[in-house]
Amino acid sequence: MKYTTLPNTDIKVSKICLGSMTWGNQNTEAEGHEQLDYAFDNGVNFIDTAELYPVPATAETQGRTSEIIGNWLKNTGKRDKVVLASKIAGPGDYTAHIRTSGFKGDSIKEALDLELKRLQTDYIDLYQLHWPERTTNTFGVRDYNHNEKERWEDNFKTVLESLDKEVKNGRIRHVGISNEKAWGTMRYLQESEKNDLPRPITIQNAYSLINRAFEGDMAEISIRENIGLLVYSPMAFGVLSGKYINNTALESSRLKLFPRFARYSSEQCTEATKHYLKLAKENEISLAQMSLAFVNNKEFVTSNIIGATSKIQLKENIDSINLDLNNDILSKIDEIHKNIPNPSN
Q: Are 172 and 166 in contact (CB under 8 A)?
A: yes
Q: Are 308 and 23 in contact (CB under 8 A)?
A: no
Q: Are 20 and 53 in contact (CB under 8 A)?
A: yes
State the Cα–Cα distance between residues 6 and 13, nearest whole angstrom.
Answer: 7
Q: Which of 38, 53, 123, 232 is catalytic?
A: 53
SS3 90: coil
Phi, psi of 202 (to 5 degrees): -140, 160
Residues 196-212 as b or e (16 or more Cβ within 10 Å = b): ebbbbbbbbbbbbbbbb
State the Cα–Cα distance between residues 225 and 161, nearest whole angstrom.
Answer: 21
Q: Are 29 and 71 in contact (CB under 8 A)?
A: yes
Which value, to the nearest 10 degrees, does the dihedral of the CA atoms of residues 50, 119, 173, 137 take?
0
Q: Are 344 and 264 in contact (CB under 8 A)?
A: yes
Q: Is 53 part of the annotated catalytic residue set?
A: yes
Instruction: State the amino acid at position 117 in one-letter form.
Output: K
Radius of gyration of the chain (CA): 19
**CB half-sphere exposure, 288, CA atoms < 13 A:** 19
Active site residue ranges? 53
